[in-house]
Amino acid sequence: MAKLSLRNLNKTFAPQVVPLKDLSLEVEDGEFLTLLGPSGCGKSTTLRLIAGLEQPTQGEIWIGDRDVTQQPPGDRNIAMVFQSYALYPHMSVYDNMASGLRLKRMPATEIHHRIDEVSQFLGLDGLMQRKPGQLSGGQRQRVALARALVRRPDVFLLDEPLSNLDALLREQVRAELKQIFADQPTPIVYVTHDQTEAMTLSTRVAVLNEGLLQQLDSPKRIYTRPANRFVASFIGSPQMNLLSLPCQGEYALLGRYKVPLPQPIRLPEVVLGIRPEHLRLARPGETLALALQGQVMLVENLGMSDLLSIQIENTPYWLRALLSPDQSWADRQISLMLPSESLHWFDPQTGDRLF
């Protein structure tokens, strides 16, 4: 069909308000790309630029071999699901879905056919004559989705479509979304600030911060090899431990403990990252010289595991570790191992990944 490409997009609302600085990326057919980032990082702005609801200050937007940068939204053949759903309150579910097709002067039989197909698929059959005001939140969400699907657009845009659902429903709809969009042969751009959604749904994730692309990768690599300190701290919950340590050629110094670097570097300081879930207890046989001794200061019960805040002996450093809740950790003295394959190293100045 048609791939979507953004070329050096910039949006400047005012000299001080530049939600999008310079964004280039391509979304292939059938690819599910998620824009992920903290609030205000320019996700919605990007989506609105693609949809044509805002004009970029600089840059181009292409769909296939069409330059749509200057085209009005209606000519781009894009469908968008809004966070608020934006259902027309005075129209029935059927008319909501038919509206876009009628605007394109599609024959009524074809409209009927398409709506039938989609509404059966989404289980909306019995609701066609209702008004949006008579639907539950989940049903409204589905109607909004159906309204986009019947259009059979060149590109799908979804702006936090799950954020108005309660936690349980969100999980269920997330799974449904994955199924629905697995079959769509078009680029899909999905905006969220929920990393679970991003991880489970996407083929690729674009992490944004302050209007700049931080990393564009598969969900797995975003998690295992964050490109910089921001991505490392943003992805993963509980957050990755990030410690600024003095550096001595081949070692970083964590108190009296020497953490070996993969390669020698010439920096006075280095940032060490390790996820709480990758820290483990030293086993009885392991050399205690290589284990970090620490005092458990705080235990938070997360259900399947305990989140421990540990102060490393004779240092100002704290680490948080996820450990099994089968014993009581409070106030204990424990030895932790840092598995070298799970360590991330970042440049303290630029924040970029070193190895």
Partner 1 sequence: MRQDSLRQREQRTGWWLVAPALLFLILIYAYPIARSIGLSLFSQNLGTELQPVFTGLSNYSRMAVDGRFWQSLGNTTLFTVLSVLLELLLGLGIALVLNRSFRGRGVVRTIALLPWALPTALIATTWTWIFNDQFGVWNDLLLRLGLIQTGVNWLGDPNWALWTVIAADVWKTTPFIAILLLAGLQSIPADLYEAHAIDGATAWQSFWQITLPLLLPQILIASLFRFAQAFGIFDLIQVMTGGGPGGATETVSIYIYATIMRYLDFGYGAALVVVTFVILSLAVALAAWGLTRLRAAHNLGDSR
Ligand X SMILES: Nc1ncnc2c1ncn2[C@@H]1O[C@H](COP(=O)(O)OP(=O)(O)OP(=O)(O)O)[C@@H](O)[C@H]1O
Interface residues with Mg ion (CB under 5 A)?
44
Binder of residue 42, out of ligand X, partner 1, Mg ion, none (CB less than 5 to 8 A by kind) = ligand X
Region of 36-44, 131-139, 147-155, 245-253 interacting with ligand X (CB under 6 A): 36-44
For ligand X, what does the binding mask look like between residues 189 and 218, x meaning CB under 6 A? ----x-------------------------
Site for partner 1 contains 75 (CB under 8 A): yes
**Under DSSP, is residue 65 helix (H, G, I), strand (E, B) or coil?**
coil
Continuous H helices in the chain: 43-51, 93-103, 108-122, 137-149, 167-182, 195-201, 219-224, 229-234
CA angle 245, 248, 250 (to 5 degrees): 105
Nearer to Mg ion, 210 or 313 (CB): 210
- The site partner of 355 among ligand X, Mg ion, partner 1, none (C-beta below 5 to 8 Å per kind) is none
Assigned token pair, 71: 């085209």
| Rounded-to-integer distance, Cα 257 and Cα 246, Å | 12
Residue 262 burial (CB count, 10 A)? 11
What is the spatial distance between Cα 215 and Cα 287, in angstroms, rounded to a whole number?
38
Considering the complex, what minimum distance in angstroms separates the CB of residue 4 from ligand X?
18
Does residue 116 bind partner 1 (CB under 8 A)?
Answer: no
Of the chain, the end-to-end C-alpha distance in Å amounts to 38
CB within 8 A of 266, min separation 6: which ones? 249
In degrees, rounded to 5, the angle at the alpha carbon of residue 230 between the alpha carbons of residues 229 and 236 is 95
Question: Closest approach of Cβ 167 to partner 1, in Å?
Answer: 22
Closer Cβ to ligand X, 150 or 206, answer by number: 206
Residues 155-194 interacting with ligand X (rule: CB under 6 A): 193
Residues near partner 1, by CB under 8 A = 51-53, 72-76, 78-80, 82, 84, 86-90, 99-100, 103-104, 131-135, 140, 151
Residues near ligand X, by CB under 6 A = 13, 17, 19, 37, 39-45, 193
